């Protein structure tokens, strides 16, 4: 696998209406803003929202896909959460290779849903095998 400085990549994913319910079970985060539509509306949200960590997982997935699909290639990940993700709306995670040296690549990523930036200034380090 050979990533090069300036190389760009993206991942497109659309969370279905059950994503937050499945993720709540997997993560143990049963906050009602993620799983109860009426509760989410009652506290002023536009409906159930995605877990921030689910959005971060998509950023990690985009990075590992760029590294040939090996999840063990991801050695570091940092993100800044910025926006609320919605169900049934496409998310685009885009990334660009910033540096490559010593069999490692440094990539910068962000996740957007329409005009909303869900994750910004994400940085990942990938071990190139």
Angle 23-81-17 from CA coordinates, rounded to 5°: 30
Q: Is residue 28 part of a domain?
A: no
Give the mean pLDDT of the chain.
96
Report the C-alpha gap between 93 and 59 in whole angstroms.
6
Q: Is residue 1 part of a domain?
A: no
Instruction: Provide the pLDDT for residue 45.
Output: 97
CB 23 within 8 A of CB 75: no
pLDDT tens sequence across 32-76: 999 999 999 999 999 999 999 999 999 999 999 988 899 999 999
CATH code, domain with 55:
3.10.129.10
pTM for this predicted structure: 0.94
Q: Which structural domain range is residue 95 located in?
A: 8-16+50-127
Tally the domains of the chain. Answer: 1
Q: Is residue 43 part of a domain?
A: no
Report the C-alpha gap between 92 and 55 in whole angstroms.
10
Is residue 1 predicted with pLDDT exceeding 60?
no
Share of the chain above pLDDT 90, in %: 94
């Amino acid at each position: 696998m050979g990533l090069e400085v300036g190389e760009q990549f993206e991942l497109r994913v659309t969370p279905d209406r059950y994503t937050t319910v499945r993720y709540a079970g997997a993560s143990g985060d049963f906050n009602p803003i993620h799983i109860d539509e009426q509760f989410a509306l009652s506290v002023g949200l536009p409906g159930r929202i995605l877990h921030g960590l689910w959005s971060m997982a998509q950023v990690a997935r985009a990075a590992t896909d760029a590294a040939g699909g090996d999840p063990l290639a991801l050695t570091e990940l940092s993100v800044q959460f910025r926006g609320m993700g919605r169900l049934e709306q496409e998310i685009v995670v885009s990334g660009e290779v910033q540096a490559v040296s010593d069999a490692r690549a440094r990539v910068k990523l962000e996740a957007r849903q329409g005009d909303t930036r869900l994750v910004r200034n994400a940085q990942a380090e990938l071990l190139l095998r």
